[in-house]
Structure 1
């Protein structure tokens, strides 16, 4: 008689072992914030390096000499002389301020 705990010789047994690791949580959020800070620092450094504005493209040198005759305007008519007003002194009085009267209480 054979031992019941030993498989028969013609039967092949395959054993599969699954090793699973537990999920890691929280590391992705920290990496996201650190990456965002690195991008922000690089952007600010670049902005300060270029002087706060994008680089202007080089413009070609254009040298133009334009001579156009200016039109001549006709002479303007002379204005009449200002009328002379009679020298009448105008009395100017300083402004007056009324003083309040204090009534005795009694």
Structure 2
């Protein structure tokens, strides 16, 4: 789900018990490669919702979440940040962290 404002981002995080926020930048080749892989991972976990936002389009989001590099991936459980990954992300490691987090929650 593409998010277009800080309010939409906050609403997304608060309305989904387990939410992943993917903050990208339009000229970021790493972002373009990782987003489809992130979408594939999320399909395996029905309780997880994925939202993405263009940090250039919604500049306030980078300051609010201290996401000064792209991509930045934040995982929230009940509105609290639990995982933060940035720039060069090993998707296998990220998925292992996500699985562990899911196993520790009621999701």
Give me the TM-score of the superposition, normalised by structure 2: 0.19
- Bigger Rg over Cα: 1
- Name the one with the larger helix percent: 2
Q: Which has the higher contact order (CA 8 A, sep 6+)?
A: 2
- Name the one with the larger strand percent: 2
